[in-house]
Structure 1
Amino acid sequence: MNTENIIGLIILITFYVSYFTKAFLQSRNGIKTDRMGKGSKPKKTLIIEICLKISTILIALIQLISIIFIKKLPLILESNTIRYIGFFIALLGVIIFITAMATMRDSWRAGVDNTQKTKLVKAGIYKYSRNPAFVGFYLLYIGISLSFSNVINILFTCATILIFHFQILEEEKFLPTIFGQDYLDYKNSTCRYIGAKK
């Protein structure tokens, strides 16, 4: 295993271990983190969540295979510079993702959840993005697909990011029913992904 394999595996393992550690810690407090495709919600939301769940499992496997078998899968971008830029982007995604989870505390959920009480978090990283965890996912996926740029990895990255976007749109319909005007004001003052609103 060479340096690129090791760096890729460390980034990937750190990301997924942080996610499952958060879910485990919440479950010890009686909080059900994974609400994807579960509960009473509109059919369109359920379908998007189920597609997203399948897609995120598949892309994790594809990323792992891409990292382990880098020499056997033909790469579109074989530049070491691009590979290390990809590592930097992926690592930035991990940092943003962990920061978002930590900031959300016990209000962290995966999927639309109308069964458990949560708080609308607007502080910390959420002042700059309404969806920093999704930004973290995007950067991880983009970074890994640049570093290990086989066709399957790139195609699944694009497809999964698109499904994540549909998931965000569904959540944006749901959140006003829970948080009311407070969420609408937040939505009007903070970007969906990242940046500044006037």
Structure 2
Amino acid sequence: MNAYRAKPLKYPWPPMLYLTSILTAILAGRIAALAPIPSPHPLLLPSIGFAIALIAVTLDIWAVRTLMERQTPVLDSGCARYLVTCGPFRYSRNPIYLGYTLFTVALGLMSGNSWFFVAALVSLAATRLLAIPSEERHLEARFGFDYEHYRKRTRRWF
């Protein structure tokens, strides 16, 4: 594949997809609340949600820092300069999207709004369909065999 043809995305879809789904979940929760999430203790689910949110934010910060240290664009609309396979990218090919998804789930647990779980699934599916194929074509065109080897040994999510 020609590296010129396999350009990165022109628009950073994933952050906007997740932001839109979070705002939609908030609105949907106000208009048509789903059944509440059962919990044996009133603080259990918010506490679990808070812990997941901390993990998600930490994962995103680690991933962004790793990209910046390697002088690689954080937004998927920039052309990759290096194939980053260290830090969280050692364990997941998409740690930032994983962090976004975990954070959306955490918001659902903290707020008790079940629409956040729907939002997380929809955003994950949309990211998988709209952003990831283009990113993977771009990385394969730029880094060839190195990217193929990385893709074979590193899972997409975890």
TM-score of the two chains, using structure 1 as the length reference:
0.60
Q: Does 1:139 align with 2:139?
A: no
Look up the match of 2:132.
Answer: 168
SS in structure 2 at match of 1:120: coil
SS in structure 1 at match of 2:134: helix
Residues 9, 135 of structure 2: 8 Å contact kept: no
**Aligned AA for 2:82?**
K
Look up the match of 2:146.
Answer: 182
- Which runs of structure 2 are paired with 1:1-198 in the superposition (5 Å)? 37-38=10-11, 52=14, 54-62=16-24, 65=26, 76-77=36-37, 79=39, 80-105=43-68, 106-113=71-78, 116=79, 118-166=81-129, 167-194=131-158
Q: Tell me by how many angstroms 1:93 deviates.
A: 0.5
Distance 1:117 1:77 in 2: 42
Residues 75, 151 of structure 1: 8 Å contact kept: yes
User: Compared with structure 1, are the counterparts of its residues 121 and 142 closer, same or farther at alpha carbon in structure 2 (3 Å cutoff)?
Assistant: same
Q: Tell me by how many angstroms 1:177 deviates.
A: 0.6
Structure having greater relative contact order (Cα 8 Å, sep ≥ 6): 2
Residues 105, 116 of structure 2: 8 Å contact kept: no
1:54-102 CA deviation, whole Å, 9 max, x = no partner?
A: 5323234356x58xx99xx666215321221111111100000000000
Distance 1:149 1:140 in 2: 14
Distance 1:91 1:81 in 2: 16
Aligned residues: 142
Ranges in structure 2 where 5+ consecutive residues have no aligned partner: 1-7
Residues 75, 149 of structure 1: 8 Å contact kept: no
User: Compared with structure 1, are the counterparts of its residues 54 and 132 closer, same or farther at alpha carbon in structure 2 (3 Å cutoff)?
Assistant: closer
User: Compared with structure 1, are the counterparts of its residues 77 and 156 closer, same or farther at alpha carbon in structure 2 (3 Å cutoff)?
Assistant: same
Residues 132, 193 of structure 1: 8 Å contact kept: yes
**Aligned AA for 1:91?**
L
The percent of aligned pairs where both chains have the same amino acid is 25
Ranges in structure 1 where 5+ consecutive residues have no aligned partner: 1-34, 39-48
User: Compared with structure 1, are the counterparts of its residues 173 and 133 closer, same or farther at alpha carbon in structure 2 (3 Å cutoff)?
Assistant: same
Residues 37, 114 of structure 2: 8 Å contact kept: no
Residues 73, 80 of structure 2: 8 Å contact kept: no
Distance 2:151 2:90 in 1: 11
